Amino acid sequence: MTPPHEGLPHGVSTKNYEWASAPVVDTEFDTQDFKAMTAWGQLYEDSKGNSATNSRVQIKNIKAYMLSKRDGKWHLLQSSKKIEGAAYREDFAGDISKPADIRYEKDGSVSVKAGQGYNFHFWPATGRVPINRQDIVAIFTTVQARLVIDNSQQVDDRFKARYLLGMGGDYWLSLNAKWDNWTTNGGIGVGKLKYVTNEWQTFNMITLSPAKIRQNPPPIVMD
């Protein structure tokens, strides 16, 4: 994952958090101890601000895949139209969170807002899935998102919206382990942060180099 982010996330120091300035693949937690994983995503306002007040981000179809050592194929691990999540402090300090501004859409997806010092951190509503860490060559996570109007009776200001969205993933010791300051889970990687637009886009994270992506393309077109 070499391309830089399209913008920088609000409230996250690039000096303290490597992923705030560019995509990363976490090798620190590359261990066989983990028995579960989950895809996740994060929505931020741009570091330079977001002046749109009548815009939301609609999110759907979060998925995770693994590339298998055994057969050299990509296998679907997670797939959920519905997501769950919360508003976390932008730098995740102290794991502080609060209920997010979530609206449930007619198609089963959700739309959200982020800001005022909080992001929107989300994951599949279906929960974590078991894995065989010894069989994993790579992980690929993906989701779809677009801008929608908050209140249809007010002015459409989506052209002013400056929201960044990116995907990632975590390994966990078990399906139901509680977060304990990185003793029960570890990062897989953080993908490219891209601006959300009026059109549906895919947002992705993959742990392969560009050369290996060409050799083992994931089952969803990456953009």
* Best CA proximity match to 205, nearest among 68, 83, 84, 24: 24
How far apart, in Å, do the first and last CA atoms of the chain sit? 12
pLDDT of residue 17: 94
Q: Is the pLDDT of residue 146 over 70?
A: yes
pTM over 0.85: yes
pLDDT at 30: 67
pLDDT per residue over 30-44, tens digit each?
A: 667 899 999 999 999
Give mean pLDDT, residues 109-117: 97
Please write the tens of the pLDDT for every residue from 186-214: 999 999 999 999 999 999 999 999 999 99
Q: How far apart are CA 71 and CA 67, in angstroms?
A: 9
| 2: confidence class by pLDDT, cuts 50, 70, 90 | low
Identify the CA nearest to 23 among candidates 2, 9, 42.
Answer: 2
Please state, in angstroms and rounded to a whole number, the distance separating the CA atoms of residues 167 and 44: 12
Alpha-carbon separation of residue 104 from 59, 65, 81, 183 (angstroms): 10, 26, 12, 34
